[in-house]
Every structure is written in C-alpha cells, then in structure tokens.
Amino acid sequence: MNPLRVTTLGAGPPLALVHGWGFDSRVMLPLAERLAVTRTVQMVDLPGHGANRDVPMASDLPGLAEQLDMTLPATRDWLGWSLGGLACLQLARSRPDRMRHLVLVATTLRFTAGPDWPAAMPATEFAAFAAALDADPTATLARFAGLVARGDAAGRDVLRTLRRAPGVVPDPDALVTGLALLSGSDLTEGADTVPILWLLGGEDALIPAKVVDDLAGRTGHQVEVLPGVGHAPFLSATTACHDHIEVFLHD
C-alpha cells in the first residue's frame, strides 16, 4: 500500500482535509485557502478520486483509514467532510494516539437509519441511489450535487460551484465502493478520546437535523449547527466554518 498524493497550501501547523463522495479535494478549496493563511493545509484526494484516481479504494472503513494514516503519519489535526469524515473518525478510533483534533463537516456516525439510529437516510433510498449509479453514473453524480445543495439558502450558488468545480471524474469502482461505505458503516458504538468539532448544516438534505440530539450528549464533542446551510457548509458558510475551526484548533 502506497501513500496517497497530497496537495499542500500555506505554511504553519499541518491540517489534513479529506473530501467526500463524488468529488475531489478541490471542491473544498475556498475553505482550504482561508485556513492556509495560518496553516499548512494538506488536501488529500481519496483513492479513486482526483490525483489518486488510479489508486483502488479500500473495501472497508478501517482499510480506508489506514490509507490516510500511511499518507500523513505526522499530521495530528484532521478535517473530514461526509465520507471523508467517516474515514477520519475511523482513524481517530483506530489510532487515537496520532490525532490531536478532529473536525467533522456534514458527517454523521451512521448515514443509514436503523432501530437505534433513526436520524438518518432510509436504507431503501441508499439502495435506489446505488441502482441509479450503476445505470447512469453521470446523471447520478449530477443528482447528488443537487442533494448537496438542497435546502441551502445559497443553494443555487452552491450548485453552480459544484457543477463548475474543477476535477477528474472519479473512478466508477471507487464510487461504488464509497457508496457502500456510506450505506454500510456504523460508528455509533464506541467512545471517542479525541476532541471533535461537528459542523452541521441546519438544512442538510442528507443528514436529518435530529442527529444533533444524538451527538450533543457525547463527551468531548462540540456541535455547531449553521442555520440555512446544506451539505456543503464550506461553500455557503466558508467564513463561519473557518472561524469555528480556528477557535477549536487553538483550544
């Protein structure tokens, strides 16, 4: 297993950024540039995405976390969005000794609903999305961009940005694997010893607002809900995200 390719911005204490499903790290560039004023921002493309399109994605979350661990073994502060957040949280659970702070943007402990975790998308919707991906990947990625922007007060601008975002179309196998990780991963059990900041959109179409109640009571977790924001807070609430992150990382 080889380290993933990383794009680096700025100078200062290192902070790794890991993007979500269907995009690559460049979609988070507005936030990365703000953070790079005071930090070395390490933008990681997930396997099968962007600069790492030729790298196979691990078939399970621990394997994906191991790929991140090998890539940036000295980095102690991490930020993950959606699928990238799940991978970062798995890394924190597997190797709490190598992480100082963790920021999770539009992430949840489990993306599909279950008896003990109702505040999530029904599994049937994920199954339908997977079937659509198999039938027409291009249309499904476009639909997903619409879901990311849905509910956001700046939804039209967010959708326009997502559609114009530079990047390489992800590897089809990586899309299938990533969707399976989103639908099948469950991190609701287990305690976290790493301080975590959750940045959630108040109008996120993919993560129900009720998930806040399940997260807020966890020791060491700080939850910030950004009103009028959807599944891409770093695009429509860049300044607010930056400010919350900077305060959290200085604690």
Give the position of tokens 């305060």.
247
Give the span between the Cα atoms of 181 and 61, in whole angstroms: 7
Q: Known catalytic residue: 82? A: yes
The 3-state DSSP class for residue 111 equals: coil
Among the listed residues 82, 101, 192, 236, the single catalytic one is 82
Q: Could you tell me the two tokens for 119? A: 């505040």
Q: Which residues of 133-142 are buried (b: 16+ CB within 10 A; e: fewer)?
A: beeebeebbe
Chain centre to alpha carbon of residue 5: 18
Reply yes or no on whether 204 is catalytic. yes
List, in order, residues 6 or more apart from 186 with CB less than 8 Å away: 109, 110, 114, 117
The answer to whether 242 and 34 are in contact (CB under 8 A) is: yes
The reply to whether 59 belongs to the active site is no
Of 128, 120, 137, 135, the residue nearest 22 (C-alpha): 137
Catalytic residue among 19, 101, 231, 244: 231
List 24, 77, 171, 204, catalytic entry: 204
Short-list 101, 100, 94, CA closest to 69: 94
Paired sense of beta strands 77-81 and 6-9, if any: unpaired
List beta partners, residue 47.
none
Calculate the CA 59 to chain-centre distance.
17
Q: Which of 230, 198, 224 is nearest to 103 (CA)?
A: 198
**Residue 45 vs residues 16, 50, 90, 108: alpha-carbon distances, Å:** 11, 6, 17, 20
Catalytic site positions:
82, 204, 231
